[in-house]
């Protein structure tokens, strides 16, 4: 675990955060070491202690994040991918907690 993620994990525990979302900002640059400017397409990192971070990024920009390639899931604009994304969101227990989805 890096010193940065250890610090972030301890702060999240102290303040009771289960997850955080970062957009291009000094915070994202500090965590990743990558400077990315805000553009017209959203780029967001979802960080949860002890879990693999999720990067939400336009598909054509994924080459800018080569370390994410092995673990990435790309959802295109096709209906079947939107339906699969909804299914994952509604059935994954961690995502249900993050997005406060209850039965």
Query: Count of H helices and E strands in the chain?
Result: 4, 3
Q: Which domain holds residue 65?
A: 3-72
Q: β-strands 20-22, 44-47: how paired?
A: antiparallel
For the stretch 39-51, pLDDT in tens is 667 788 888 988 8
46/99 Cα distance (integer angstroms): 11
- Band of pLDDT at residue 14, cut at 50, 70 and 90: very high
Please tell me the least confidently modeled range out of 5-14, 54-63, 67-76: 67-76
CATH number of the domain within which 59 lies: 3.40.350.10
Six token digits for residue 89: 């969101």
* pLDDT of the residue at 4: 86
* pLDDT of the residue at 62: 62
- Considering the domain architecture, whether residues 60 and 94 belong to the same structural domain is answered as no
- Considering the domain architecture, whether residues 92 and 55 belong to the same structural domain is answered as no
90/94 Cα distance (integer angstroms): 10
* pLDDT of the residue at 15: 92
């Amino acid at each position: 675990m890096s010193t940065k993620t250890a610090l972030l994990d301890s702060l999240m525990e102290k303040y009771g955060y289960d997850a955080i979302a970062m957009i291009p900002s000094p915070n994202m640059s500090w965590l990743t070491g990558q400077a990315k400017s805000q553009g017209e397409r959203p780029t967001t990192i979802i960080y949860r202690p002890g879990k693999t971070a999720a990067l939400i990024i336009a598909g054509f920009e994924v080459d800018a994040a080569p370390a994410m390639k092995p673990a990435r899931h790309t959802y295109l604009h096709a209906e079947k991918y939107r339906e699969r994304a909804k299914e994952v969101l509604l059935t994954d227990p961690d995502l249900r907690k993050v997005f406060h989805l209850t039965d």
